[in-house]
Amino acid sequence: MLRLNNRKLMIIILSILITAFCITGCGNSVQTSKKSQSITVFAAASLTESFNEIGKQFEKDKGIKVVFNFAGSQALVTSINEGGKADVFASANTSCMEDLKKSNKVDKSIVFAKNQLVICKNKDSKVNINSLQDLSKKGVKLIAADKSVPAGSYFYKALDNAVKEKTIDADIHSKILNNIKSSELDVKSVVSKIALGEADAGIVYKTDINNSNKDNLDLIELNEFSKLQVEYPVAVVNSSDKKTEAQEFIDYITQGKGKELLKKYGFMVN
């Protein structure tokens, strides 16, 4: 009788162990599967700091890893049009997004943040800049993004608008353009060169002045820049095979914790 009871006990113990193993194994399998998911987000260079933190929090909350490709929006559009693998595209202006819509690379987009164009000046620079006209002073070394880059296109639009509104005249406009010593392919390059003292001032976004560079840079806001509509749209890329996860990321920055993180980095959100 004792031998029979021991046999039954062993069977019960084995059953419990097998059940526990299956539950643990299946749980790990689901968890591993969840964590093995990843999406690729092509994003404007000005989103680097905010999106890096958002990506880490998104992976923690959703179990989906985010791989970022940061560059000028125009360069990212070219890459996507040439077959670059992206699940999400976040642009620093609406025109780059419209270019992708025209080529049927995306269908719909949503504006998730707004920004403001500003002047950043190296603190060691001796030039005095308080107005748009001051950028035309003799000897001022200025760096801006290329016209093809959103930050550059906003700047040149502001200059054209200032001439139309007679805030500056054609001569001042010409002198400002002559003071531009370098045209960069993304706004982060402008920030970096001004922080290193390669020029007196640069045209960047307000969010580009942060804890990593504010000790070297002064931020100057201009009325002419405040009139610009600096909008950031985001969309799921049509060729993505992870549209559900891509949409989760978009929801995260428009409705979830990502929205608060964007505010933390100085972006304006609805």
Contact 261, 54 (CB under 8 A): yes
What was the pLDDT predicted at 109?
A: 98
Contact 215, 195 (CB under 8 A): no
Tens-digit pLDDT profile for residues 167-187: 999 999 999 999 999 999 999
For residue 59, give every residue at least 6 positions away whose Cβ sits within 8 Å of its Cβ, in sequence order, or none: 65, 66
The domains located in the chain, with CATH, are 35-115+230-264 (3.40.190.10), 117-226 (3.40.190.10)
Contact 70, 44 (CB under 8 A): yes
What was the pLDDT predicted at 270?
A: 86
Tens-digit pLDDT profile for residues 185-231: 999 999 999 999 999 999 999 999 999 999 999 999 999 999 999 99
Q: pLDDT tier at 76 (50, 70, 90 boundaries)?
A: very high
Tens-digit pLDDT profile for residues 116-145: 999 999 999 999 999 999 999 999 999 999
The answer, yes or no, to whether residue 107 has pLDDT greater than 90, is yes
What was the pLDDT predicted at 13?
A: 52
**Start-to-end CA span in the chain (Å):** 75
- 13/44 Cα distance (integer angstroms): 58
Coil, helix or strand at residue 118: strand
User: What's the angle, vertex CA 94, arms to CA 101 and CA 182, rounded to 5?
Assistant: 115
In this prediction the pTM is 0.85
Contact 88, 237 (CB under 8 A): yes
**Mean pLDDT, all residues of the chain:** 91
- 168/214 Cα distance (integer angstroms): 29
